[in-house]
Structure 1
Amino acid sequence: MSPSNRSKSPPKVTRQADPSPKRTIINDTINTERLKLARDEAERAMKDHKIFTIIGPYPALRESLRRRGWVEKFYRGSTLPSVHGNKKSDKKNSKSDDDDEDDNDDDNNNDDDDLDEHPSYEDEDKVPPWEENDGYYGILSRLVRAAAPNLIWSVRASYDTNTLTRDQMVNHYSRNGCFTTKVGLCNSLRNLQWFHSGCADEFYPRCYKLSQEDDKVAFVDDYRLTACISFLKLIQNRCKGVIEPDMNSILAMSSDGPNDPNTPLPTIDEQLPLTRSLTMPPGQLLSKSLNGKTSAKKVPVSAIEFALYKVNHYTSSRDHEDIDMDPEMHIDPTDEQWTQFIEQFYAAAHSNVDIDGMERFLTRIDECLKKVAHHCPQYHIDGTRNIWILKPGAKSRGRGIVVYDRLEDILKLCSSTLTKDGKFVVQKYIERPLLIHNTKFDIRQWFLVTDWNPLTIWMFKDCYLRFCTEHFSLETRNQNVHLCNYSIQKHYKNNSNRHNNLPVENMWTNQEFIDKYLRPNHLTDRWDKLIYPAMKDAIVCSMLVAQDTIDARKNSFELFGADFMLGEDLKPWLIEINCSPTMARCTAVTTEMCDSVLEDTCK
């Protein structure tokens, strides 16, 4: 039988032997002694409450449970188990992991797992688990078919937890969308002040839900203030000769740039503006190109005065220096004045237009930025472009992500059906991430929650880094420059000019990060003293705010995957938390680490 014709369901009857070397088949005549051995093992497992069901691609978990004396009860195809044994109310797992049809604004419903695939069991060219060991596990499954599974592990909580018995263990919590969806995490972390002394802005890039009018107003205020700060940063950089981190400067100034020094730099025509979808095909833009200078005129001095006025007023209000001031002394700019300044900011930041008389303002700008940095926890990850990223509220793996650097383009979406339905959040893009050999990366950190009262979190010591296949640049639209997800990067080839020390499979373990980056830069202790503790604190805070929302069922547990990015100061920033993190053996790093995580989870 060819692989394409192989049954993906456990067999009901014995099958003819197949000479194919890829698999073994249940024998026509079952050895009596072997059957007795299977019956003894099945009876022992039922007596010890060690019957399990796995729905999804988790071979390492299956192997670990078998070693501990558990017996698997198989289910056919994509159907979910009837958790009470022989009941006929089996639910169908109708949605595949790649569906983009999650149209709910309910924070508790999500499609935010990050499995690359959602097969019933394994790839078609592999032996189905019930046919392993000459069909022995298929025999065991039939012998325990009347028993309800004591442990159910599935790719997502697609079953009704109300039908579970109290002693059945499942690997999901209901209503976890309050932190596993981008909308849910955005909403939940705003309540952190009631659970923790810290502030979410210290570890989570500021985020807004544009479907809510209050959030929309707050976002506009944030964008405008950030534009003022970015404008002043831009002037400071130009006056001090700091080169902006675009593709040309990275390749030209880096000591470990491309391996081939004769490689030509990108032309102006190749440096397309960032305001476009990262998932759109080449050539499709969302706004007009801002290549080159849009005007022969310089940005006037009045723009500098405007930015200084607004930033200084912000710091004064944060320092409560405005309490005794006459309210009439401060006049808020009109929308027309803001529009004029924003256009001047675009000209300077996006089109490299000269700024008139900027040198004589440098001292005031230095003082102003020093003060505002004290009040802005995210000051050092914001660059000079004021870039924001629009994300679907309940998707993962980089699906549907759009990046913008113009306010009007973002606001246009506020009137669209998608944003009105609450499906999108807008979040500040990290313009100044830590780069390794000019390449962006993120960190996947696993953690396990086994109880909510008291809150019990197990954070794994090991994690891994995921690299992009291209050099980082704020001047390109390519998704493989900005999104580190393996589900995206696997479709691209590594740039031939990448540094030789970057991993071919685009993954490092945390130990490799320490050995190959931190130690050579005399930062060895930063992992244990800064990075790991900060990631742990961010995860704890994210779980604290979810305690009142989650369905804290006993005998439930869940493994999550948190994604972090590092700033240039090595400070971690939480990007998202995924339910059903992919545990596929896709690279040498994940083959070792994912199996280890599942093994530890079984303990």
Structure 2
Amino acid sequence: MTTRLLNGYRTNNFGMDSSPKSNHKFSEDSIQNLLNEIAADLNHLHEKYPMLKETPRERTGNISSPKKVKLSASASANTNIDVKTKRKSKKFKNKSMGHLVPVAINVERDAYLSQLLNLYQTRCMVANKNRKIFTISNGYDALRDALLQRGWVEKVHPTAIAKYSMFSYKQLLQCAERGNEYERTLMSKIVEKYPAYFVWQVRTREMVFPEAAPYRNRIRSRRRLRFTSKIGLTNCAEMETWYRRDNDTILNYPRIHKLHQDYKEWNYFLKDYRQTQCRSLLTYILNNVKNASNLYDNINGTVPSTTLDFALISLKEEIRQFERLHDDFKSELDENDWEVFLNYSNKIIHYKMKLKMNSRELFERIRIAKMLFKQLLKKKPNLRWDGYHNLWIVKPGNSSRGIGIYVLQDLESIYEFTKKDLVLNYIVQKYIERPLIIYGSKFDIRMYMLLTINDKCLSVWLYHDCYLRFSTQEFSLTDLREEVHLTNNSVQKRYKIDERRDERLPTQNMWSLHQFKSYLRSIEVNGSDSIWENRVFPGFVKNLTGIVNTSVEDIEFVNNSFELYGLLVYALASDFHFDENSAPDLLTSTMVTKIFAQV
């Protein structure tokens, strides 16, 4: 067998002097090639003499200590393996195997181990010089594998390799194979004294290796405008109004109220809820005008005509109040009449009771309602997302993955729900009653955005690919179960697909972008990609720019900071609404996400 020695190093019978000649340079590829060659020779030696491989006995829970092998634990490039073995003859007997092994073979094995250690050390030295040492906290195997494939060396947290770290260098070298835990522990021991230059850590952990200015997956910002939380995103939405007045951004979002703050915010929500109920009644009337005979009965009608007049007055006041935004406004509607209106309007919408009026009176009010809606939608275009059910989605301010989210309708239910646990900081948001649905089911679009900070400049990167996530149920505004309305994979994986759901939808509840584009082509007249290219994707860019712009004043500009965000895009009939979360889960639960993670 030919012994391969690393060019530029001196050797002796038992090991290698690992001091390289100053004029020799190593590349990552050449080092890895040598590692592979020496590892192959060592494996051949172990196949010929299997008793040489002293594998730690993990299966029994016993860890064998080295047999009088002295090994310097230094992680520097000057580490030598000094083998001191007492020998009574030129051969020694392995008691467990009952075979005689020549001493020369044992020494040859140690020489190979010495070469391997020197190569691993050199590889780590080159990685440190090129700033290619990384550390990742918990999971994210797709990211870890991508860095390793690019020649990076991992600095593993000690707790992640605790059961291997007690092994000696010699034991680790004998068991090290490409990518296994022994090699991972060995490399981590060698780079112990080096800093990491790429840090992927959880937000709550303290900043590590600040002196090395590593690329770090955390952009620090104050909570007020941290758009990864629902409360922070709500604050950004409120701030964005000022940017919109300067025509800098466009951010479309449903109305939001922070009910955890004070009674003043509750009063804002109460006013919004009441106005929404007025518009809901008028929308219901307009939607059913073709069957107007089901709306009125001048003789047997049970709902007074003043109910419709009340809603029209509210609509007029809403328009007037928007035009006089900074002036004091006094409503002509009596506070005590609201309870009566809410009761009667619900009887019309949900119980199909009829108005006590004739057809002429009804159509005159319909004419006025159409005129008022036309004026109001020019001022508040997002109102076109509303239907007539007056549904609201209630969310804990700092939760994710659909936890604690409910769709509610009754005002009293919303109040009781949000006040039962003030610690959760509930927000309430107008539910989108007119979403874009595909084959009868609700969906959202999962995208990824990257923010980077370099030279005090904040850059926004939007990944061109995305995928869709479907509900397992048919969409319905009368069925308020979470599996109908929450499309998070963490929610939908708990439910079986409804037998009534369209068979054209995927069994894994996910579509790739290619499949979505095919669907868009099928519903467009000319069958091109113009909907996606000219409308959908540009809409994403404008909305995300609006979100980021509003948060800039609260961001700490630290060089080499970056953060990956998962975006949940709720597709509407004409626009899009975003939710964001930081450090998104990169696990691959379906074929669609598997392909996506590999990219």
| TM-score normalised over the length of structure 1 | 0.71
Q: How does 1:424-443 map to 2 (within 5 A)?
A: 424-443=426-445
Of residues 156, 170, 185 in structure 2, which corresponds to 1:138?
185
Greater shift, 521-530 or 554-563, is seen at 521-530
Matched letter for residue 237 of structure 1:
N
Matched letter for residue 150 of structure 1:
Y
Q: Which residue of 2 aligns with 1:344?
A: 344
- Whether the 8 Å CA contact 2:256–2:428 is kept in 1: the answer is yes
Paired residue secondary structure (1:53):
strand
- Whether the 8 Å CA contact 2:249–2:542 is kept in 1: the answer is no
Paired residue secondary structure (1:179):
coil
1:298 aligns with 2:298: no
Same amino acid, percent of matched pairs? 29
List runs of 5+ in structure 2 lacking aligned partners.
Answer: 1-53, 61-108, 163-175, 293-299
Of residues 212, 215, 218 in structure 1, which corresponds to 2:268?
218
Structure with more helix by fraction: 2
Gap change, CA 1:220 and 1:502, over 3 Å in 2: same
- Give the deviation of 1:581 after TM superposition: 0.9
1:565 aligns with 2:570: yes
Q: Deviations over 1:261-296 (max 9, x none)?
A: xxxxxxxxxxxxxxxxxxxxxxxxxxxxxxxxxxx9
Separation in structure 2 between the aligned mates of residue 413 and residue 428 of structure 1, nearest angstrom:
16
Q: Which residue of 2 aligns with 1:486?
A: 489
- Give the deviation of 1:343 after TM superposition: 1.3
Separation in structure 2 between the aligned mates of residue 391 and residue 559 of structure 1, nearest angstrom:
23
- Give the deviation of 1:447 after TM superposition: 0.5
Q: Which residue of 2 aligns with 1:396?
A: 400
Paired residue secondary structure (2:385):
coil
Matched letter for residue 313 of structure 1:
E
Separation in structure 2 between the aligned mates of residue 200 and residue 311 of structure 1, nearest angstrom:
28
Matched letter for residue 213 of structure 2:
D
- Give the deviation of 1:202 after TM superposition: 5.0
Q: Deviations over 1:547-603 (max 9, x none)?
A: 11122221110000111111123x1112x110111111111111111231xxxxxxx
Q: How does 1:416-565 map to 2 (within 5 A)?
A: 416-418=420-422, 421=423, 423-451=425-453, 453-522=456-525, 524-565=529-570
1:239 aligns with 2:289: yes
Of residues 134, 137, 161 in structure 1, which corresponds to 2:207?
161
Q: Which protein has greater RCO, CA pairs closer than 8 Å, 6+ apart? A: 1
Separation in structure 1 between the aligned mates of residue 222 and residue 498 of structure 2, nearest angstrom:
38
Separation in structure 1 between the aligned mates of residue 311 and residue 286 of structure 2, nearest angstrom:
13
Q: Which residue of 2 aligns with 1:23?
A: none
Gap change, CA 1:300 and 1:400, over 3 Å in 2: same
Q: Which residue of 1 aligns with 2:217?
A: 171
Paired residue secondary structure (1:335):
coil
1:318 aligns with 2:365: no
Gap change, CA 1:322 and 1:147, over 3 Å in 2: closer
- Whether the 8 Å CA contact 1:130–1:138 is kept in 2: the answer is no
Paired residue secondary structure (1:473):
coil
Paired residue secondary structure (1:379):
helix
- Whether the 8 Å CA contact 1:183–1:425 is kept in 2: the answer is yes
Q: Which residue of 2 aligns with 1:181?
A: 229
- Whether the 8 Å CA contact 1:152–1:169 is kept in 2: the answer is yes
- Whether the 8 Å CA contact 1:205–1:427 is kept in 2: the answer is yes
Separation in structure 2 between the aligned mates of residue 162 and residue 33 of structure 1, nearest angstrom:
33
Gap change, CA 1:372 and 1:513, over 3 Å in 2: same
Q: Which residue of 2 aligns with 1:150?
A: 197
Q: Which residue of 2 aligns with 1:227?
A: 277
- Point out 4+ residue stretches in structure 1 off by more than 6 angstroms: none
Matched letter for residue 217 of structure 2:
N
| TM-score normalised over the length of structure 2 | 0.72
Q: Which residue of 2 aligns with 1:203?
A: 252
Gap change, CA 1:588 and 1:443, over 3 Å in 2: same
- Whether the 8 Å CA contact 1:437–1:502 is kept in 2: the answer is yes
Separation in structure 2 between the aligned mates of residue 241 and residue 37 of structure 1, nearest angstrom:
83
Paired residue secondary structure (2:553):
coil
Paired residue secondary structure (1:563):
strand
Matched letter for residue 447 of structure 1:
M
Gap change, CA 1:379 and 1:64, over 3 Å in 2: same
List runs of 5+ in structure 1 lacking aligned partners.
Answer: 1-12, 20-27, 81-128, 243-295, 597-603
Separation in structure 2 between the aligned mates of residue 429 and residue 212 of structure 1, nearest angstrom:
22
Matched letter for residue 48 of structure 1:
N
Q: Which has the larger radius of gyration?
A: 2
Paired residue secondary structure (2:394):
strand
- Whether the 8 Å CA contact 1:202–1:377 is kept in 2: the answer is no
Gap change, CA 1:305 and 1:71, over 3 Å in 2: same
Q: Which residue of 2 aligns with 1:190?
A: 238
Gap change, CA 1:227 and 1:36, over 3 Å in 2: same
Q: Which residue of 2 aligns with 1:379?
A: 383
Paired residue secondary structure (2:541):
helix
Separation in structure 2 between the aligned mates of residue 399 and residue 476 of structure 1, nearest angstrom:
19
Matched letter for residue 516 of structure 2:
F
- Whether the 8 Å CA contact 1:201–1:378 is kept in 2: the answer is no
Paired residue secondary structure (1:187):
helix
Calculate the aligned-residue CA RMSD, in Å.
Answer: 3.1
Matched letter for residue 446 of structure 1:
Y
- Give the deviation of 1:533 after TM superposition: 1.1
Gap change, CA 1:472 and 1:512, over 3 Å in 2: same
Gap change, CA 1:153 and 1:202, over 3 Å in 2: closer
Separation in structure 2 between the aligned mates of residue 321 and residue 195 of structure 1, nearest angstrom:
17
